[in-house]
Amino acid sequence: MERNNFSAAAGFGFHSGRQGVVATFSAFLEMCISELTMARLNEVNMLCHFSHCGVDMIPDNTCHYGMNIFFADNGLLGQHPTPLYFPADPLQMEAVVKRIFHDHGIRFVFSTRPAVPYILDEAGNKFFEAARYTFQPGKDDLVRDGSDGFIVAFGDTLYRAIDAAETLKEQGYKVGVFNKPTLNVIDEEALKKIAASGFILVAETQNQVTGLGSRFGTWLLERGYTPRYKRLGIAKPGEGGGLEQVGFHGLEPEHLVAAVKELVR
């Protein structure tokens, strides 16, 4: 029924001043691509929430995960853009939804299945607290600064990237962390800063074939940036229980630490 529900929501958003709202699991996004194409051609207003994204706490084993969310960004360059948003914690989710709720066009908001911890700054304050943070679509968040290189992450990978950066800091490395809440829009200023460092590691619980890592590398090359580069994502079928998936795929903080050290070498 996901395809029917998606089409019904698109119908609500066909007329100016209205929008449809649809929600389901991220794994089912792959079923809705044709309906999404029709909705895009009809220039509907539509807010789409796809949950259970990535592989964290997903006990479905070899069932398909919600790891192909970039399939939603399949429009042509001449069409109205389809922004993909993936907040990193509950506070950023609130900030994102409030900011984009009345925007025109088709918007996607993704979330994980399990709870994630609040993102904290270096002083221990909640990074995305409303009094201190305003979400800007397309703007990347510098969560930790660093001179050696940067980890780029989003969603449930961000807090793991921060954990890795803190561990590396204790070992004498100066590794920064960028959060990319708007997955398919280039923040030129952030990209320039990241590319000027010694290395870049993109970490995500998305398919390595279709995820941010492949796009990010293309964006760098198109602008003549050639830093050392590595991407980590989902590259094999899951074979463990619900609590084992992220580690099984090599995306826990200790794996990010090892990947950074490999880049430094």
Band (pLDDT 50/70/90 cuts) for residue 76 is: confident
Which domains can be identified in the chain, with CATH numbers?
2-264 (3.40.50.920)
Please, are residues 40 and 79 in contact by the beta-carbon 8 Å criterion?
yes
For residue 134, what pLDDT is reported? 96
How far apart, in whole angstroms, are the C-alpha atoms of residue 158 and residue 32? Answer: 28
pLDDT digits (tens, 9 = 90+) for 141-181: 999 999 999 999 999 999 999 999 999 999 999 999 999 99
What percent of the chain clears pLDDT 90, i.e. is strictly above it? 84
Band (pLDDT 50/70/90 cuts) for residue 84 is: very high
Is residue 78 over pLDDT 60? yes
Is residue 60 over pLDDT 60? no
**Number of CB atoms found within 10 A of residue 98's CB:** 12
pLDDT digits (tens, 9 = 90+) for 100-133: 999 999 999 999 988 999 999 999 999 999 999 9
When the pLDDT of each residue in the chain is averaged and rounded to a whole number, the result is 93
pTM over 0.85: yes
What is the crossing angle of helices 188-195 and 212-222, to 10°?
80
Is residue 248 over pLDDT 90? no
Please, are residues 130 and 92 in contact by the beta-carbon 8 Å criterion?
no
